[in-house]
């Protein structure tokens, strides 16, 4: 299969991967763009997994003010070097995250940050909603409802508001693969005028 520059360009636009990575993925996929996309994605995931053990102590605190000062967000995103912290792509990612938090109002960075008592409470509520079904069916329904809970309240599980085909975790993985450093969303705060302080 002949790999054309247009094919490489199309894959590069979809993945942000390097030219040679795109060309090699297309060769491996025998010219199938969809398959090549999955190959790049898997390699990106592998790169991200390797990077995740490295310490990220540099970074920036990004902010976003919305609705004429009615909603404000601050988010801390860490990386390994000051050089990356100043990188335009990294800075744009931080801005996108702040906008995401303003729009989607997550409560936690990841599902690992959800307190055990909150998970227990939610599971209890969901189990009360499911009655008269076999135990294994009930368990599956509760797990499904918990997934929806994570997608609503955990930033990494949320659908990216600027590209609804991806989750925030996928955007993070792609940036780690592209930049080549571990990147960690450390914490955030979202304030809305008039909201309850409880």
Is the pTM higher than 0.75? no
At 15-63, the pLDDT tens digits run: 666 677 788 889 889 989 888 888 887 776 566 666 666 677 899 999 9
Helix, coil or strand: residue 62: strand
The Cα 149–Cα 155 span in angstroms is: 11
Measured CA distances, 129 to 36, 117, 132, 141, 150 (Å):
43, 19, 10, 10, 18
Q: What domains are there in the chain, each with its CATH number?
A: 5-51 (1.10.8.10), 58-110+154-192 (3.30.479.20), 115-152 (no CATH)
| Distances, alpha carbon 189 to alpha carbons 44, 64, 92, in Å | 29, 11, 18
- The predicted pLDDT at position 52 comes to 64
């Amino acid at each position: 299969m002949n790999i054309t520059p247009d094919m490489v360009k199309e894959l590069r636009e979809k993945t942000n991967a390097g030219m040679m990575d795109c060309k090699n993925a297309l060769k491996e996929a025998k010219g199938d763009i969809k398959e090549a996309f999955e190959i790049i994605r898997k390699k990106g995931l592998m790169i991200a997994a390797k990077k995740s053990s490295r310490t990220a102590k540099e970074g920036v605190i990004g902010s976003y003010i919305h609705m004429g000062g009615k909603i404000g967000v601050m988010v801390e995103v860490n990386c390994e070097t000051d050089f990356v912290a100043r990188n335009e792509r990294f800075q744009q990612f931080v801005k996108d995250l702040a906008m995401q938090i303003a729009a989607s109002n997550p409560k936690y960075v990841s599902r690992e940050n959800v307190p055990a008592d909150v998970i227990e409470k939610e599971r209890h509520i969901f189990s009360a909603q499911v009655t008269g079904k076999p135990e294994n069916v009930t368990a599956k329904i509760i797990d499904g409802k918990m997934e929806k809970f994570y997608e609503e309240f955990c930033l990494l599980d949320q659908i990216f508001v600027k590209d609804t085909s991806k989750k925030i975790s996928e955007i993070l993985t792609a940036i780690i693969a592209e930049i080549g450093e571990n990147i960690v969303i450390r914490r955030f705060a979202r304030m809305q005028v008039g909201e309850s302080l409880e």
